[in-house]
Amino acid sequence: MSEQPEHPGQQQPATVQQLSRQPQQMAISASTQELAELIDLHLGQLRPKEPAWRVSDSPISGRGIFATRDIAKGEELFREHTILVGPTAHRSSKLRTCTLCYRLVPGQTDAEALCPAGCGLPVCEECGKSPRHKSECELFLKWRPKQTQRIDPRSLRILSVVRCFFLDEQQRRLLYAMQANADRYYMKEVERAAACFEDFPREQQMLDFFYRTICAFNTNAFESRSCVEGHEVLIRALFPLAGLLNHQCTPNATHHFEDGETIIVCATERIPCGAEITVSYAKMLWSTLARKIFLGMTKGFMCQCPRCQDPTENGTYLSALFCREQGCRGLVIPVQTRTLQPDWRCLTCENVFPHAKMARYQDFALNTINNRINSCSVPDMIHFINDLCPRFCPPSNYVLIEAKLNVIWRMTRFDTDQYTPEEVAHKDRYREDILAIIHKLGAGECTLKKLITEEIQ
C-alpha cells in the first residue's frame, strides 16, 4: 500500500517462484464483529455519527469495508489517525529529522541532532522534553545503543515497531486483529536493529511481538510523504481502518494524507450501497503483468479483478508490444489473464508468440526508457518519446506512458518557466493522453488525475 511503489521489473525467474508460494497468515485474534467494535473505539471522535461504511467479511479476501448507502464521487469516506508510526529511515532520506514532530533538527552534524541523553534518536529540543520521547529514550537507553554520535538508520527504522510497547490494551487487541502475512525474511529488520544495541531484548516473547508487528506493517502499512516546514518527510504508518481496504486495479476510492499521521479516504467514483470500497496497492498505469508481479511479491496474492481479466485492459492496451513478424507492425497482447507466463497474440496477423520472447522485448523497452529517464534533460526526453520510442514501443505501452508522466512531473514541479511553448504543448498533449487512459480505465477522480491536473501538489 505504499505511495510510490518501485517498478517490479519483468520476468526474473525468482519472481515467478516467489509468487507461487502464498504467504502464511498469522493468527487473527478477533472476529469481524469484534474488529469493527475495536475500530469504532480507535476512531473515537473521528467516527462519524452515521458512517457511510461498515466493516464486514469480503468476497475479495478476509475482511473489507462496504458502503452502507450510495456514496457520491469525490465524497470523503473517513479520516483516521495512525496507531503506529515512525520514520522509514531510508538511507536517502534526511535522518536528522525529529522522531516526533518530523521537523529538521537544526545543526550540521548527526551528533547535534541526537538526543543529549545518548538514546541514539534524533529529536528536536522541544520534543526532547516531552513525556513521549522520555519513555522512548528510557527504553533505548536500557538497550545501550552502540552509536551515540551518528544516526543509525537501522535503529531508527525499528522505532515504528518498538512503539508497539506503548500501545494500550485496546490498541494491542486491534493490532492483533489486523492481517499479518508471515515471512521469515521480515525478521531481518529485527536482527539489523539488534546489531545496533549492546543489550537488545532476546526473550522469545518479545521477539515474536516485534516480528508480528513487522508482519502487520508489511501487510497493511502506508508509506506517507508529507512536507514539514519545506522538507520532505517519509514515514510508515499503520491505520487499522484504512488497512482493511482490499485492492482492485481500478478501485473506487483513493487516499491522501492530511499530515503524515492522518489519512483521508475519498470515493473516486460513485459507490452504490452494498459495494466494497477498494483502493489500488499498485500504480494505476502499470500493465497487468507488472501489477501482478508487484502484488505477488509484496502482498502475496494474484489479483482477479475485472481489469486483470481483460487482455485489452479496457481498450488501453497498456501491455501491448509490436509484432516482429516480417511486414507486420500490429499490436501483440497477452492472451491468458491468470498466468504470469501467458502466450501473446498479434491483433493483426494473429500469430502467437511465447511469453519468454515478448518478455525480452518488454524488458528492452523498460530498460531503454528508464535509462533515458535517469539521464536525459526534459527536451531530450521529449525528442526521445516523440521520435525514437515509436520505432520500438507502441504509444499505448505502459513504460512509454511512464516516460510521459516523468516529463509532466519534471515540467510542472521544477523550473516551470524555462520551457519553450513547443515543449509546453508536448507536455499538455501527454497530459491529455494520460487523462484519456484514466477515463478508459474508469478510474474517476483518482489521485493520479488530481496530480496531473495539479489539483493537488
Ligand X SMILES: C[S@@+](CC[C@H](N)C(=O)[O-])C[C@H]1O[C@@H](n2cnc3c(N)ncnc32)[C@H](O)[C@@H]1O
The residues that touch ligand X, with contacts defined as CB under 6 A, are 58, 60-64, 178-179, 181, 219-220, 243-244, 246-247, 299-301, 303
- Does residue 452 contact residue 413 with C-beta atoms inside 8 Å? no
For the CB of residue 244, give the shortest distance to ligand X in the complex, in Å: 5
List the one residue out of 189, 243, 195, 237 whose CA is nearest residue 211. 189
Are the C-beta atoms of 99 and 87 separated by less than 8 Å? yes
Residue pair 430/402 in contact (Cβ under 8 Å)? The answer is no
Q: Please give the torsion angle defined by the CA atoms of residues 29, 31, 37 and 43, in that order, rounded to the nearest 10 degrees.
A: 60
- Cβ distance to ligand X smaller for residue 55 or 438: 55
Beta strand extents in 168-228 (DSSP E only): 181-182, 222-228
Q: Compute the least distance from the CB of residue 431 to ligand X, in Å.
A: 29
Q: Which residue is nearest to ligand X (CB)?
A: 62
- Quickly tell me which residue has 511553448 as its cell: 421
Q: Which of residues 8 and 64 has its CB atom nearest to ligand X in the complex? A: 64
Nearer to ligand X, 63 or 173 (CB): 63
Least Cβ distance, residue 71 to ligand X (angstroms) = 19
CA distance linking residue 320 with residue 397, whole number of Å: 6
Query: Least Å distance between CB 73 and ligand X?
Result: 22
Q: In the complex, what is the shortest distance from the CB of residue 329 to ligand X, in angstroms, rounded to a whole number?
A: 35
User: Minimum CB separation from ligand X for residue 453, in Å?
Assistant: 28
Shortest Å distance, C-beta 55 to ligand X: 9
* Residues contacting 23, CB < 8 A, separation 6+: 181, 182, 183, 300
Nearer to ligand X, 99 or 288 (CB): 288
Whose Cβ is closer to ligand X: residue 220's or residue 319's? 220
Residue 128 or 300: which CB sits closer to ligand X? Answer: 300
| Of 178 and 214, CB closest to ligand X | 178
Nearest partner of 290 among 181, 396, 366, judged by Cα: 366
Which residue reads 526526453 in cell numbers?
381
* Gap between the Cα atoms of 55 and 165, Å rounded: 27
**What cell was used for 312?**
485489452
Instruction: Please state, as a whole number, how many other Cβ atoms lie within 10 Å of the Cβ of residue 339.
Output: 14
Show the cell assigned to 181: 502475512
